[in-house]
């Protein structure tokens, strides 16, 4: 289901004429990581919800962090990928 949400968001952005090279999915569950993978998006797993960092890392996201408190570093890293 989440993969479908990501896919629809990508389609809607393209339909509105938004141009982009990469898609980033930030989420706090393994389902978000799977949704990113199914849509060939870059996944950022954030352990702020029900799942621990260890559990999220098992799903092999592109990046896994404990929180977004140090969001400046994360944003710098993501910016370099664009």
SS3 category, 62? coil
pLDDT at residue number 82: 67
pTM of the model: 0.85
d(CA 28, CA 49): 6
Q: What is the pLDDT of residues 9-67, one digit of tens each?
A: 999 999 999 999 889 999 999 999 999 999 999 999 999 989 999 999 999 999 999 98
pLDDT at residue number 73: 76
Phi, psi (degrees; rounded to nearest 5) at 20: -155, 155
Q: Higher model confidence: residue 71 or residue 11? A: 11
pLDDT at residue number 1: 86
């Amino acid at each position: 289901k989440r993969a479908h949400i990501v896919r629809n968001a990508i389609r809607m952005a393209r339909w509105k004429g938004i141009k982009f090279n990469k898609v980033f999915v930030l989420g706090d569950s393994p389902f978000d990581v799977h949704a990113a993978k199914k849509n060939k998006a870059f996944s950022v797993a954030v352990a702020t919800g029900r799942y621990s960092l260890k559990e999220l890392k098992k799903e092999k996201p592109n990046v896994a962090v404990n929180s977004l408190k140090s969001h400046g570093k994360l944003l710098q890293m993501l910016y370099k990928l664009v």
